[in-house]
Amino acid sequence: MKKSLPLLICFMLFACFTHAQILTPVHWSYAAKKLNANEAVVFVKATIDDGWHVYSQNVKDGGPVKTTFKFEPSKAYTLLGKTIEPTPVTRMEKAFGMEVSFFEKSVIFQQKVKLNGKGKVVVKGSLEYMTCNDQKCLPPEDIEFSVEVK
């Protein structure tokens, strides 16, 4: 027992120090604003850590995973058009061998919705995105969201 105790302590310390830190360089937030009694805009904001970037919705095939939005069908609202984004940075990325469009620091995506009827409206959906820096890319991630329109 006395010989195994130091070994157990070493193993526990090793486990503590090697516990993988999960990188989360992108932080998502959500909001909605009524434009009038029949329309609203859902805002999906990515706040991006320095040195990292998130890809545009308009990345060509063969490149990184583009940001995509899926909204759950609902009788309470109807999507109006596609999710819009501001003008991204576009440059040649050696890792993909092509020009790629992306966002740094932050980006706000917007989706207009038509409100069908009165009462509480909650817009639900999910997004998929990929983030990279100059050294590595993280695996694509799926995130669910829910935004109440007030």
- State the pLDDT confidence band at 13, using cuts at 50, 70 and 90: very low
Q: Which residues contact 38 (CB under 8 A, 6 or more apart)?
A: 114, 115
Per-residue model confidence (pLDDT) at position 94: 85
Partner residues linked to 125 by β-bridges = 71, 145
Nearest 10 degrees: Cα torsion 85, 57, 54, 70: 90
Query: What percent of the chain has a predicted confidence (pLDDT) above 90?
Result: 78
- In order of their start, the domains of the chain are 24-149 (2.60.40.1250)
Res. 29 pLDDT band, cuts 50 70 90: very high
Whose CA is closest to 111, among 37, 47, 33? 33
pTM, two decimals, is 0.84
Residue 119 tokens read as: 């009462």
Confidence of residue 2 (pLDDT cuts 50, 70, 90): low
pLDDT by residue (tens digit) across 125-146? 999 999 999 999 999 999 999 9
Is pLDDT of 12 > 50? no
Q: pLDDT-derived band of residue 7, with 50, 70 and 90 as boundaries? A: very low
Under 8 Å between Cβ of 83 and 31 = no
pLDDT, average across residues 52-71: 96
